[in-house]
Amino acid sequence: MKFDIALVSLNRDRAFAKYKASATYTFAVSHGRVKTYAEVVLTDRALEIIEQKGKDAKAAARRALERLLVTGWDPVESPIFLQIPYREAEYFSKFGDFLEKFPAKLE
């Protein structure tokens, strides 16, 4: 299924439950007339490592969301709240993409 993804907002230094998020990206995910929203969170260390290596954190957040949608996740059935782990952020900072299996699970 093909989804259109558009950045709606970026919020830095917002706390979510047990995570102190350095950046929270909210994306609108739509398929035809159906639209929902997804949150992608980069915690302190993850955001830091991506930006230190000169990579775009927004691109990392979007790519992580795309990877999840390709696995067959239906954002209309279940809301998406995805936290990018430090290990995956480190991989993205080196290679500009995630491992093929990412995301392995939702946090």
Residue 102 lies in a domain: no
Judge whether 10 lies within some domain: yes
- What is the distance between the alpha carbons of residues 80 and 25, in angstroms, rounded to a whole number? 12
Whether the predicted model's global pTM rises above the 0.95 cut: no
**What SS3 string covers 43-105?**
EHHHHHHHHHCCCCHHHHHHHHHHHHHHCCCCCCCCCEEEEECHHHHHHHHHHCCCCCCCCCC
Mean pLDDT computed over every residue of the chain? 84
| pLDDT-based confidence at residue 65 (cuts at 50, 70, 90) | very high
In whole angstroms, give the CA distance from residue 106 to residue 83: 7
Query: How many domains, the chain?
Result: 1
Is residue 80 domain-resident? yes
Structural domain boundaries enclosing 41 = 4-95
| Reported confidence tier of residue 30, pLDDT bands at 50, 70, 90 | very high
65 vs 17, 33, 89, CA distance in Å? 20, 20, 13
Indicate if the pLDDT at residue 107 is higher than 60: no
Output the pLDDT for position 21.
59
100, part of any domain: no
104 belongs to a structural domain: no
What percent of the chain shows pLDDT beyond 90? 33
